[in-house]
Structure 1
Amino acid sequence: METRSYSIDRLLIGASGSIGVVNLIPFLLAFKVARFAKEVQVIMTDTAAKMIPPSTVRLFCDGVHTSLFDEEGGKVRHIKLGEWPQMYAVLPASANLIGKLANGICDDLLTTTAIAAKCPVAIFPNMNFDMFNKSVVQRNLSLLESDGHFVIPPLISEAYEVATGEMVKAATLHQPSGIMEQLLGVLDFINNQRNEG
């Protein structure tokens, strides 16, 4: 029986405290089933780690990082993590995180690694539609694109909003198959640019 190869060798996921982080485990499981990435590591912000236990996430990937410093020697690890992946997906990206990244604020492992990354960085916004539509958020997304990051447009749909307990219009994450398709599209774009250059 022939084993299908992986689409990506090393995928790093940066998970913020947006409510979409509750979908992280289904995403990781879908990536495994589809043989999408040979190795997947996850960086979680403090808020993300409060919403979903890193110990649970660790069961579905090759490593979870929550602290800027490693456990053994207290070394800062953002440079090594920034050199490791073939692709860095910020999934989900809250309005707060988008603002930090757009303005170069490096106050945790996720943001410092995004700035240090030597690979394409794809950002998946996930928030209330009114927040997503605010000029400051749109300006920050434009800044990220002008800095060479890839902003993946969210799906605009009705979704349950935890903050209000109501169904509202929201900027939601794609299904796992859509996320994989978007990430491969980014890699294809990068490879085509290299081939033309």
Structure 2
Amino acid sequence: MLKDKTVVIGVSGGIAVYKCLDVISRLRKLGVNVNVIMTKSATEFVAPLSFQSLSQNYVVCDMFEDPKTWDVEHISLAKKADVFLIAPATANVIGKIANGIADDMLTTTVMATKGKVLIAPAMNTNMYENPIVQRNISILKELGYNFVEPESGRLACGDTGKGKLATPETIVNEVVNLLTQNQDLKGNNIIVTAGPTMESIDPMRFISNRSTGKMGYSIAAQAIKRGAEVTLISGPTNLTPPQNLKKLIRIESAEDMYNAVLNNMDENQVIIKSAAVADYKPKNYSDKKIKKTDDDLSIELDRNKDIAYEIGKIKKDKILVGFAAETNDLTENAKGKVQKKNLDFIVANDLTKEGAGFGVDTNIVKIIDKEGHITEYPKMTKDEVANVILDKVNELIKK
């Protein structure tokens, strides 16, 4: 199953370099073709010849060394990679990749790859916990890069804490998972809506809600990993969009979102409405800032279009998934929305539960289908919830 797969391993400078020899050995025994790129610092710990002997491919260390083939080296390796593994990944390499710096063969090649990237950090505990390093890791995770978390234990410097390179067995298992990752949504086009909408009162003020967009962005990212072509329609968020989107449409108002969904319906088979769309908007917009006075201010509100309801009326054979974020009567309210909006199923969550709702990395959901069947799930990460939703979508596609 793995004999036609290629893993490019980028080895950066750290005491854990020697563990990568075991990683290569294990991958080769599984039939995986392995190419190795080493930074100059990495060669100070282990000689390139050791990696070359185990991988049975020449090792690239210098962008300007004499080429072994007539291919442009970094582009050739980037194209070969089904998975690009960086192990050990130092704070320096993580920082470069997160900030778009490509100044050696490793960082240049990973910048050019379309393969799945897996990063295995290894460094001193204080370095790993440094806010700058954590910010860089968060940026890469939001961009769709995969990570093998470092382990806790005694480090080479004598400190004890989190920062040890994951075991070769763990790393290889993660690589194999990525190599064999399900592409069950390949050939399907999916719209995902995410984030809040903003309804302007005047040039300075607006009505919005607490949605961060995390759930929708997770759905989009996981759908891409499973082979789908994804159009992400996003309200204002601070999130970095996932890599390899078919289309990213940024909107502000509920009207903007309605038009964006409508304009992209024809080319998509699935619409997942995870955005938190404002139900109301100011009836009258003031093009000048409303000045404060000694009197109270009243703002009259009009109803916005219910996007899921409007799409439900014209969806025909398309799959339409809704969301219900409630603080009371969750099941009853969600069931009513399934019928009213002609949804194929709804994802319901109780905002009062710890670990559910806006601004957190987890969620606790129920899925209710049009026949009224209810499936409850425990607290999971939003990526896990995303895959539960996509599993359900895939079942409907196959019917």
TM range (shorter): 0.7 to 0.9
Partner secondary structure for residue 65 of structure 1 = coil
- Aligned mate of 2:24, from 25, 28, 41: 28
Alignment of 1:18-57 (within 5 A): 18-33=14-29, 35=30, 37-57=31-51
Deviates more, 1:84-93 or 1:61-70: 61-70
Unaligned runs of at least 5 residues, structure 1: none
Deviates more, 1:168-177 or 1:111-120: 168-177
Matched with 2:142 is 146
Contact 1:89 1:122 in 2 (8 A): yes
Matched with 1:71 is 66
Share of identical aligned residues, percent? 31
Structure 1 residues 170 and 188: alpha-carbon distance in aligned structure 2, compared to 1, 3 A threshold: same
Matched with 2:154 is 159
Contact 1:69 1:75 in 2 (8 A): no
Partner secondary structure for residue 43 of structure 2 = helix
Partner secondary structure for residue 89 of structure 1 = strand
Structure 1 residues 25 and 188: alpha-carbon distance in aligned structure 2, compared to 1, 3 A threshold: closer
* Greater gyration radius: 2
Matched with 2:351 is none
Contact 1:92 1:126 in 2 (8 A): yes
Unaligned runs of at least 5 residues, structure 2: 185-222, 230-399
- Aligned mate of 1:126, from 122, 125, 137: 122
Structure 1 residues 8 and 160: alpha-carbon distance in aligned structure 2, compared to 1, 3 A threshold: farther
Contact 2:121 2:150 in 1 (8 A): yes
Q: CA deviation at 1:173?
A: 2.0
Structure 1 residues 96 and 113: alpha-carbon distance in aligned structure 2, compared to 1, 3 A threshold: same
**TM-score, normalization: structure 2?**
0.44
- Distance in 2, matches of 1:70 and 1:190, equals 38
Q: CA deviation at 1:69?
A: 3.2
Contact 1:70 1:76 in 2 (8 A): no
**TM-score, normalization: structure 1?**
0.85
Contact 1:16 1:94 in 2 (8 A): yes
Structure 1 residues 190 and 141: alpha-carbon distance in aligned structure 2, compared to 1, 3 A threshold: farther
- Aligned mate of 1:173, from 161, 165, 169: 165
Q: Which amino acid letter does the alignment assign opposite residue 179 of structure 1?
A: I
Q: Which has the higher contact order (CA 8 A, sep 6+)?
A: 1
